[in-house]
Every structure is written in C-alpha cells, then in structure tokens.
C-alpha cells in the first residue's frame, strides 16, 4: 500500500510539473498585442462586419416585438416574466454595443472593408428602392 501512495504521488507530481512546463511554454510564444494585423486577419474583416450587420438587423427587427411582449406581461401582472424579457432585451443591446465596438476596432486597424460593408450604427431608416 505504501508503494501505491508513493507511485501515485510521483505520477501526480510529474503530471503537474509537465503541465506547468507546457503552460509556461505556451505563454512565452504569444506575440505582443497592439501590432499591425496580418493580411489574413484584415481579409476576414468584410465577413466579420457583414455578420455584425446581420445581427444588428435581426435585433432591430425583434426589439419592438420584445418590448411589446414586456409591456403586455407587465399589464397582465406577470412581473417575473416581464423582468425576464427586459433582461433579454438588455443583453441583446449590450451584445450589439460590443459588436459595434469590435467593428470600429477592426475598421481602425484594417481600414474600411473592401466589400462595402461598414460597421452598423443602429440606423433603422428605410431604404428607397
């Protein structure tokens, strides 16, 4: 039994030291952030901005419906459900704000996307076609 305890301690020590060594090696190879982005990263900027605009359009379309559901729940006296809907609305708006900040950051580093996609500003104006 004493041998099993010693063997188990030795294996645990070897694993912990081995994992710590790998973690240390992984952290030393990371490049400094804040440098110029690579061409591959900037090539993806148009796709990222398009996805952000798609999300913005979905939030803009769903927001009035969610607010109406919240008002209806409050009027019916379902305060817990109304709070749940309000929290979801807030979460979606916060996510949209973060994505717009990300789009602005990408545009600042890589310049405007070549496909004509731009960062969403939350404008809900109709298009004339």
Q: pLDDT per residue over 5-26, tens digit each? A: 666 666 565 555 655 555 555 5
pLDDT for position 45: 85
Does the pTM exceed 0.75?
A: no
Cα torsion 116, 117, 119, 122 to 10°: value is: 110
Cβ–Cβ under 8 Å, residues 46 and 114: yes
pLDDT digit string, tens, across residues 113-124? 544 444 444 554
Cα–Cα distance between 52 and 54 in angstroms, integer?
A: 5
For CA atoms 32, 50, 128, 68, the dihedral sign is negative
More confident: 15 or 38: 38
Instruction: Tell me the domain boundaries of the chain.
Output: 37-109
Q: Is the Cβ–Cβ distance between 59 and 43 less than 8 Å?
A: no
pLDDT digits (tens, 9 = 90+) for 59-99: 999 999 999 999 999 999 999 999 999 999 999 999 999 99
């Amino acid at each position: 039994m004493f041998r099993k305890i010693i063997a188990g301690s030795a294996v645990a020590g070897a694993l912990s030291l081995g994992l710590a060594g790998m973690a240390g090696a992984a952290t030393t190879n990371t490049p400094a952030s804040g440098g110029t982005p690579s061409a591959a990263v900037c090539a993806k900027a148009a796709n990222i901005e398009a996805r952000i605009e798609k999300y913005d359009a979905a939030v803009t379309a769903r927001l009035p419906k969610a607010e109406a559901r919240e008002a209806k729940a409050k009027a019916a006296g379902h305060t817990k459900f109304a709070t749940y809907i309000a929290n979801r609305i807030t979460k979606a708006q916060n996510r949209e704000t973060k994505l717009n900040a990300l789009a602005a950051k990408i545009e600042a580093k890589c310049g405007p996307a070549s496909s004509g996609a731009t960062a969403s500003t939350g404008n809900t104006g109709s298009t004339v076609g």
